Structure 1
Amino acid sequence: MEKRYLLPALKVVWQKGKLWLFCTSFFTIISGIQPLLILWLTMELINEITRLISSADGNYRTAMALLLLQFLLVIFYSLAAKIDDYISKRFEVTLDHHLQKLILMKSSSLPYHFMEDPEIHNHLQRILGSSSSSFLAPIRNAMGIGRSILHSISYMGFLFSFHWSLVVVALLPTLTLFRLQVKLGAESFQVHYRLAPAARETRYISSLLTEKQSGKEIRLFGLTDVLLNRWSKQFLKSSKEVLTLLKKRSILEATMEALAALFYIFAALIMIWLAVSSKLKIGDFVSLSQAVQGVQVAIQQVSREVSRFFEQRLYLRDFYRFMELGEGKDKSKESIQEQPKQFIPPEGIVFANVSFSYPNSNKIALKQVSFHIHPLEKVAIVGENGSGKTTIVKCLLGLYQPDHGQIYYNGKDISVINHEELKKDFTVIFQDFMRYEFTLKDNIVFGDISEKDNAKRMEQSAKESGVDQFAGKLPDGYDTFLGKMLYDGEDLSGGQWQKIALARGLFRNGEVIILDEPTAALDPKTELEIFQNFDSLTKGKTTIYISHRMAAAKMADRIIVLKEGEIIEMGSHQELMDLGKEYFSMYQSQAQWFSEERKEVVTWMS
């Protein structure tokens, strides 16, 4: 194992579990000499009982003392094993909490584009779950190797005291298959590595078939059989690989046991020859038989532990490689160096020749995008789906680093601004907002958890977003749990959830408000209500409104029109209408979509 993975693991174990490390090391040592003590006591007891039966030379007190010692030894080792097991379980809980917390913290701190990489999710699949047991496995394997080596040395020493040939016969069958067992350990990890994507897919399909959110569409489109077949195919494919590996391991172990049985016959012949030539006692013969078998079992156990060590050590490598993700060269620093020194960015938000392509994609999402949003200005960024509107927001928030160009906020390149400080100034409401199945209050105050006890601010946000219109009708008001996943809470409509997302954004009270399709799930009347309150919602804020619909564009001071990642028009609503090009065409075509139900909106747009 590479030291850079083993040493940090040992350091974590030492910091978090000194008591466990001491207890398990002590138990390893004492259990290593247990077989020799049991073997010696058994031999002496049988010999003493034989003397008692065959002649008057035997001593009852000696026999009873040996029996008592044997009893006390069993009790001692049983008690030590229980204590070690309890301390191990307690330490596993502590370590599991620590490791999973590290994994979750690392996952949430990775650059956003990592979360769109399937291999990262496969990596997470491999290291999550039984983190502590996998993390401790190499250390336990190492101790198991040490314990089995002590066993084998003790047995071999006992055999050697009678005749050296017994040691040779006991060792030969196990050493020949040692290398194969180690190789199987590495192969076992590779199977686990390859099956991670299939495991993710089966779990995903399982969630689709069991969760409420997907249940309606699956039943409506009759997808159950299709999804079940895909789940079954991946499940059986994974099982086949696991069973193939198990078959190899079973054949190897059966071969080892057959060889051990064959060589035991040779050992038995040697012991018979020793009994005839040197008159072995019955107890000696029985103990020698047990010692030969003990050596074989101990060496087999060493090979198994080494195999598992090589298999489980790869978990540590996987764990620490995940912890090292994102620690490479920072592309944002290169971007800073590319910027001409004579350029002094103004206050507000500046995009300077920003280009961006999504990871693992050849399509350019943004092409040389440049614009300046002044403080307190209200800007609408419009365009068809896929034109690059949301990509601009993600780059502005630092979720993605531009391939070329720079983004400035109040005169500073955002790549050198502390992300936590940057995020405090931004209030963002995405179209694909989160629905937290906690209380209504939680859903609002999650916008700024440091102000969670500010009831006045929460109520004001609820009023401005329209949440107060239905909050009072809920069984427990703002303390009502929402959804059915965790508790028997209240189901809300899509429009109500979107109002809650708007309230959460307003509660954050950032200097810059970004509304990414905030009215997509609202009914026409509620959408009009939000539009009419737009000025009060964004008063004293720099506002960016992202939409593929034109209804809110005329509220903005300036409109940026995107098409296929490029800015093709920029100006006020009236300027762009007078221009009579892309914006004019989009506005006119969308106005015709509104039905009689939306005639108020049409009138207001006109």
Structure 2
Amino acid sequence: MARQSRTQGGHPEPTPPLGFRERLGAMANVPQFLAAIWRTSRTLTVLDLGLRLVRALLPVATLFVGKLIIDEVTRLIRGGALSGGVLDYEHLWWLLGIEFALAVGADLLGRVVSLVDSLLSELYANRTSIELMQHAASLDLEDFEDADLQDRLDRARRQVAGRSGMLSQLFGQAQDIVTMASFAIGLAVYTPWLILLLLVALVPAFLGEIHFNARSYAVNYEWTPERRELDYLRMVGASANTAKEVKSFGLNPFLIERFATLSRAMYAANRRIAVGRASWGGLFTTVGTLGYYGAYALIAWRTVHGEFSIGDLTFLSASFRRLRTLLDGLLSGFSQLAGQALYLEDLFSFFRIQPEILSPKDARPFPVPVREGFRFVDVGFRYPGAERWAVRHLDFTLRAGEVLALVGENGAGKTTIVKLLSRLYDPDEGQILLDGHPLAEYDLEELRAHIGVIFQDFVRYYLQAGENIAVGRIDARDDKIRIEDAAARSMADEVIGKLPKGYDQMLGKFFKGGVDLSGGEWQKIAIARAYMRAAPLLILDEPTAALDARSEYGVFQRFKDLSAGKTAVIISHRFSTVRMADRILVLGNGHVVEVGSHEELVAAGGQYAELFELQAAGYR
């Protein structure tokens, strides 16, 4: 049935969460993100966390050893001044050696952690990209023709790479929490009230960061269609595929102006947020600095009055400064993490979209051979969001072993019938039977594997010539004999024979060394894919539009000869080709208007005869 973009359970796409509670609620995505990291590599994840735990304790240990060194130096100075004797430096050297070892260890650990982070991030990005491609492949064709879903897919793609850095940030914050806890314990032993002062100074900055991160996400969310348009304009304005027409029509000024207008609007929206963040951030930072120096002054005052040693002063002031920096970073990082979690929703919500066209349990195997054929029983279908029916009340049979041609003006429903036969869509009304059983009862993958279909808008793959043919049956891509046979059947062998590297030649100008083909040559390559499939049902949906009349006639004559004993569907505007079919189905406004052979339809003097006469008159 036609429907809107939907997630699992049929819920529509959520609006971007902007409330404080909703922003914090987005943190529920973090466990799912961590689970994905764990699945990526358990070994690297455990190693990363273990190294970070050790690294988290090094700062407070280094600072405490520094306090001991200062106290030892102070003791030595006082001892020497009082006694005038020889000083014992052994304890001081040991402390200096320990601090040196801690400094070297911290540096080495930092490098190893960065290495593990980068490896784990890359593995995560690669794995998630594969999962994204796999999930996209499972979705219905209807989903890819939905602009809203295209926006969601675009956001999901961006988050695959964009959220890789979140791993380092998330693990870094966990490390900082451990470091903070150790510093807090040290401060609590001396002056627990400093921690309270610290929190009062930093909470406003934390709330400000959360606010501006949410606003930034809202702009990114709302401007997704415009950002996709910018990507499209950037591609059209500087692409080998569009260069000829863009230059011929003088479109560059128009495309550049449109890009400039959109990009200026996006810049203005982002600038407002950036200016607000910088202004309020400066104010909040000043408040935090005042809090730090107020605490520093109090520690210095108590040291002067003998409550703390010089080493204690150094340890406490440095601990407070480090704790302030860590807490500031943690609160800021948490607000950023909440923002990152909003973006994670873009990725995970895409994974929650579920296809509706699926194989049923205990699915029927595809019948080999097909005995009765395909029967459309009062079939009706309209595309999502469309008021007009693409086809309705269709009743006809595609008999096993016959070649059926579909004829009609543009929009008559010819390609829709092909999509319904391939079960790229399911009917909204009626049903399609295969050998007397509903098409929906058959295994979906097996059904499509037994149908060889080439559409008018076939894909030009920037792969080797042999691989371009092999995509028709990709699991047989190493079968050179099969590839060459398919090329000979479609007359693509003549095209490939002229290429410098033959079947190993890279096609298209996208990659270095590639050779581009003419439209007709590309079409012969595409038709070879249908023969490569060797399916019992072959469908050619106007894939020869770029061929001249003689070449098209030759292709279809060979197609008719080579498809003997197979069921086939041909769509073409050329009646010299259509007349080779066993039967012709004439469509008009989504309905079957006439059915019969070429001779029968011409003799009937109906719509087919009229279209035939119009085309024939053009050749006189």
Q: TM-score normalized by structure 1? A: 0.89
Q: 5 Å matches for 1:51-70? A: 51-53=75-77, 55-56=79-80, 59-70=88-99
Distance in 2 between residues matched to 1:581 and 1:562, nearest whole Å: 12
Match of 2:583 in 1: 558
The 3-state SS of whatever aligns with 1:201 is helix
Distance in 2 between residues matched to 1:211 and 1:247, nearest whole Å: 36
Change (3 A) 1:177 1:481: closer
1:170–1:296: 8 Å Cα contact kept in structure 2? Answer: yes
Q: CA deviation at 1:279?
A: 5.2
Change (3 A) 1:217 1:197: same
TM-superposition CA deviations, 1:11-67 (whole Å, max 9, x none):
333333222222232233333333322222222222333344455167532322222
Q: 5 Å matches for 1:582-601? A: 582-594=607-619
TM-superposition CA deviations, 1:147-186 (whole Å, max 9, x none):
3333333333333333344333333211243333233333
1:383–1:547: 8 Å Cα contact kept in structure 2? Answer: no
The 3-state SS of whatever aligns with 1:354 is strand
Distance in 1 between residues matched to 2:49 and 2:278, nearest whole Å: 31
The 3-state SS of whatever aligns with 1:381 is strand
The 3-state SS of whatever aligns with 1:540 is coil
The one-letter amino acid of 1:112's match is L
Distance in 2 between residues matched to 1:555 and 1:183, nearest whole Å: 69
2:538–2:569: 8 Å Cα contact kept in structure 1? Answer: yes
The one-letter amino acid of 2:417's match is I
1:92–1:133: 8 Å Cα contact kept in structure 2? Answer: no
Change (3 A) 1:64 1:517: same
Distance in 1 between residues matched to 2:481 and 2:190, nearest whole Å: 89
Query: Is 1:316 matched with 2:335?
Result: no
Question: Which one of 463, 468, 484 corresponds to residue 509 of structure 2?
Answer: 484
The one-letter amino acid of 2:200's match is L
Moved more, 471-480 or 492-501: 471-480
Moved more, 108-117 or 276-285: 276-285
Distance in 2 between residues matched to 1:159 and 1:477, nearest whole Å: 75
TM-superposition CA deviations, 1:466-521 (whole Å, max 9, x none):
22333323222222222221232332211111112122212222111111113211
Change (3 A) 1:192 1:78: same
Distance in 1 between residues matched to 2:297 and 2:496, nearest whole Å: 88
Give the unaligned 5+ runs of structure 2: 1-24, 82-86, 364-369
2:292–2:324: 8 Å Cα contact kept in structure 1? Answer: no
Query: Is 1:182 matched with 2:215?
Result: no
Distance in 2 between residues matched to 1:228 and 1:220, nearest whole Å: 16
Match of 1:515 in 2: 540
Q: CA deviation at 1:100?
A: 0.7
Query: Is 1:43 matched with 2:43?
Result: no
Q: CA deviation at 1:330?
A: 6.2
2:553–2:576: 8 Å Cα contact kept in structure 1? Answer: no
RMSD (Å) for aligned C-alpha atoms: 2.6
2:374–2:434: 8 Å Cα contact kept in structure 1? Answer: yes
Change (3 A) 1:307 1:581: same
Q: CA deviation at 1:409?
A: 1.9
Distance in 1 between residues matched to 2:185 and 2:208, nearest whole Å: 27
Match of 1:32 in 2: 56
Q: CA deviation at 1:452?
A: 3.2
2:373–2:434: 8 Å Cα contact kept in structure 1? Answer: yes
Distance in 2 between residues matched to 1:349 and 1:486, nearest whole Å: 43
The one-letter amino acid of 2:427's match is P
Change (3 A) 1:375 1:299: same
Question: Which one of 402, 409, 413 corresponds to residue 438 of structure 2?
Answer: 413
Q: CA deviation at 1:130?
A: 5.8
Moved more, 18-27 or 454-463: 454-463
Question: Which one of 71, 77, 80 corresponds to residue 109 of structure 2?
Answer: 80
Distance in 2 between residues matched to 1:269 and 1:458, nearest whole Å: 82
Q: CA deviation at 1:114?
A: 0.6
Query: Is 1:393 matched with 2:421?
Result: no
Match of 2:399 in 1: 374
1:111–1:399: 8 Å Cα contact kept in structure 2? Answer: yes
Moved more, 396-405 or 231-240: 231-240
Q: CA deviation at 1:331?
A: 9.7
TM-superposition CA deviations, 1:519-548 (whole Å, max 9, x none):
211113212323443531322211211133
Moved more, 573-582 or 278-287: 278-287
TM-superposition CA deviations, 1:363-411 (whole Å, max 9, x none):
2111111111111112111001111110110111011111111112222
Question: Which one of 273, 279, 284 corresponds to residue 301 of structure 2?
Answer: 273
Query: Is 1:218 matched with 2:246?
Result: yes
The one-letter amino acid of 1:284's match is D
The one-letter amino acid of 2:423's match is G
Change (3 A) 1:268 1:512: closer
Change (3 A) 1:483 1:140: closer
Q: CA deviation at 1:207?
A: 1.4
Moved more, 537-546 or 384-393: 537-546
1:48–1:59: 8 Å Cα contact kept in structure 2? Answer: no
Match of 1:350 in 2: 375
Query: Is 1:110 matched with 2:139?
Result: yes
Distance in 1 between residues matched to 2:435 and 2:187, nearest whole Å: 82
Question: Which one of 504, 507, 526 corresponds to residue 501 of structure 1?
Answer: 526
Match of 1:198 in 2: 226
Distance in 2 between residues matched to 1:252 and 1:73, nearest whole Å: 38
Distance in 2 between residues matched to 1:241 and 1:324, nearest whole Å: 30
Moved more, 163-172 or 80-89: 163-172
Distance in 2 between residues matched to 1:484 and 1:193, nearest whole Å: 35
1:141–1:306: 8 Å Cα contact kept in structure 2? Answer: no
Structure 1 residue ranges (4+ consecutive) displaced by more than 4 angstroms after TM superposition: 1-8, 139-142, 329-333
Change (3 A) 1:435 1:262: same
Distance in 2 between residues matched to 1:271 and 1:393, nearest whole Å: 81
Match of 2:126 in 1: 97
Query: Is 1:161 matched with 2:186?
Result: no
Match of 1:545 in 2: 570
Distance in 1 between residues matched to 2:538 and 2:316, nearest whole Å: 83
Change (3 A) 1:307 1:4: closer
Q: TM-score normalized by structure 2? A: 0.87
Distance in 2 between residues matched to 1:560 and 1:378, nearest whole Å: 11
Q: CA deviation at 1:192?
A: 2.7
Distance in 2 between residues matched to 1:146 and 1:467, nearest whole Å: 60
The 3-state SS of whatever aligns with 2:452 is strand
1:135–1:316: 8 Å Cα contact kept in structure 2? Answer: no
The 3-state SS of whatever aligns with 1:594 is coil
TM-superposition CA deviations, 1:413-457 (whole Å, max 9, x none):
222211221112211121111222222222222222333344444
Change (3 A) 1:561 1:372: same
The one-letter amino acid of 2:398's match is I
1:331–1:401: 8 Å Cα contact kept in structure 2? Answer: no
Change (3 A) 1:438 1:279: closer
Match of 2:470 in 1: 445
Distance in 1 between residues matched to 2:490 and 2:185, nearest whole Å: 82
2:553–2:577: 8 Å Cα contact kept in structure 1? Answer: no
Match of 1:340 in 2: none
Change (3 A) 1:163 1:6: closer
The one-letter amino acid of 2:120's match is F
Question: Which one of 299, 311, 318 corresponds to residue 283 of structure 1?
Answer: 311
Distance in 2 between residues matched to 1:484 and 1:367, nearest whole Å: 43
Moved more, 264-273 or 572-581: 264-273
Q: CA deviation at 1:287?
A: 2.7
Q: CA deviation at 1:312?
A: 1.9
Question: What's the % identity of the aligned pairs?
Answer: 31
Change (3 A) 1:411 1:5: farther
Alignment length (residue pairs):
583
